[in-house]
Amino acid sequence: MPGLSARSLAGVWHPCTQMGLLDDAPLLALARGEGPWLFDIDGRRYLDAISSWWVNLFGHANARISAAVADQLGRLEHVLLAGCTHEPVVELSERLSALTGGTLGHCFYASDGASAVEIALKMSVHWWRNHGMAERNEFVCVAGGYHGETTGALAVTDVPLFREAYAPMLRSAHRVMSPDARQAGSGETASGVAARAATQIAQLLETRGDRIAALILEPLVQCAGGMAMHDASYLAEVRRLCTLHGVHLIADEIAVGFGRTGSFFACEQAGIWPDFLCLSKGLSGGYLPLSVVLSRDEIYQGFLDTRIERGFLHSHSFTGNPLACRAALASLDIFEEDRVIEANHARAAVIADALTPLRADPRIAHLRQRGMIAAFDVTIDDPALRAGFSRRMHMAAREHSVLLRPIGTTVYLMPPYVLEPDELRWLVRQTMTALDQTLATTRSAAPEASAMVQPGPHQMP
């Protein structure tokens, strides 16, 4: 019998991977997980420093979440959510709404992030149509933004490589500049860049506002675009402009929600709420596929009618799956019982402290952090060497027992919320050792192609 990796290559089409380039970057064949650790089939362990594509909050095989899912398995594994309901989906909706202070009152479920984005876009356009303004059907998105890879979500995603082949299938959207603080000119602050970016939106809405249904953005951190961080004042100003021009604001907190940036929701740091809030990834603690769009009552009311065609027309077979909802409820329990947001402030401070030496490292630029996301850019002048960096760094980190996936030359840490201070310091040390090793070999190595598709969250060697 061939090994697991060979069988995988023979039968599994791995996502966002050039399968033709996998020879020199073997798959990591995993047998089990325990807390922040993943164990491969040979018993070697790796610290999951990227929370398995940013979904895992409380470690693998978490006893509390597993118990809740197991309990639900013995009761009701699944039922359709059209004309039926169940305790887990009702309780989850009540608790999510409560976390927005009741501002966003209704929850519409799906199974993945991209579907949540599709739902928010469709809801916005349909809402305007129900209000006699079918001409309001254009979208505004932000440069460097990522909202998923189904065609509607891809149309508001700004990752040229992901879009190119599918361009004929995509509807065009207005794209405004990113508020990425790294663009600051000399003497310019992060809030200066934010103001500059917001001015562009003001101009667009001024001239085109009456044709625009919604603006979609990732609050505080554009993750897949390379962990680009911006000042919270941007969100407050965009909220003001959307309200002024009657444009819906869609906050995609699929990656940044659930405590990632230091507050439960990223929008809280700007003191705003969107009209639609998209959540997934950490929603189920990373256990099961689940996503949701929360909307304001005004949106919900806009679909209430006796005419079928004025209702929101969208459904997925596994909408509101009870197992996934129970995992999400268990995850919310952990947030409360363990005072996770507070505990993460201490964890974030340990990460910041451990990374401090990098500020003086000439190989590194833009060391940045927002809560439990820390990132820095590695300076490599030769474009050919830059192309292979991500895969080499990934492999070097693996040698040092850490699972990392740099985005281009941006190295980031996005660990689950279970690491002790010693483990966090160990993680930073291993990352630095892997970086030293990668740069030592990068300098002497020949240029090469990489199976890691760049950029995006979904590249895999």
Binding residues for ligand PLP, rule: CB under 6 A, are 112-114, 117, 146-148, 218, 223-224, 252, 254-255, 280, 457
Output the smallest distance, CB 459 to ligand PLP, in A: 13
Task: Supply angle C-alpha 337, 339, 344, rounded to 5.
Answer: 140
Pick between residue 86 and residue 248 the one whose CB is nearest to ligand PLP: 248
Q: Is 200 helix (H, G, I), strand (E, B) or coil?
A: helix
- Cβ atoms of 376 and 410 within 8 Å: the answer is yes
The residue nearest ligand PLP at its CB is 113
In terms of CB distance, is 294 or 439 closer to ligand PLP? Answer: 294
Distance (Å) of CA 45 to CA 11, 28, 36, 204, 413:
25, 11, 10, 51, 18
Q: Which of 220, 434 has the CB closer to ligand PLP? A: 220
Give me the least distance between CB of 120 and ligand PLP, in Å please.
Answer: 11
CB 354, min distance to ligand PLP, A? 25
- How far apart are CB 318 and ligand PLP at their closest, in Å? 13
Taking the complex as a whole, the smallest distance from the CB of residue 374 to ligand PLP amounts, in Å, to: 17
Cα dihedral value 206, 207, 212, 215, nearest 10: -50
Q: Which is nearer to ligand PLP, 263 or 280 (CB)?
A: 280
- The residue (of 295 and 438) whose beta carbon lies closer to ligand PLP is 295
Alpha helix stretches (DSSP H) within 338-372: 340-355
Name 113's Cβ contacts closer than 8 Å, sequence gap at least 6: 147, 148, 153, 252, 254, 278, 280, 281, 291
Shortest CB 101 distance to ligand PLP, Å: 23
List all residues 6 or more positions away from 290 whose beta carbon is below 8 Å from its beta carbon: 109, 111, 280, 283, 284, 321, 324, 325, 327, 328
Nearest distance in Å: CB 54, ligand PLP: 6
Pick left, alpha or beta for residue 87 (phi over 0 → left; psi -120 to 50 → alpha; otherwise beta).
alpha
Q: What is the DSSP letter of 101?
A: T
**Cα angle for residues 2, 459, 111 (degrees, 5° grid):** 90
Token pair for 199: 């001015």
Q: Which is nearer to ligand PLP, 113 or 285 (CB)?
A: 113
Residue whose CB is less far from ligand PLP, 69 or 117: 117
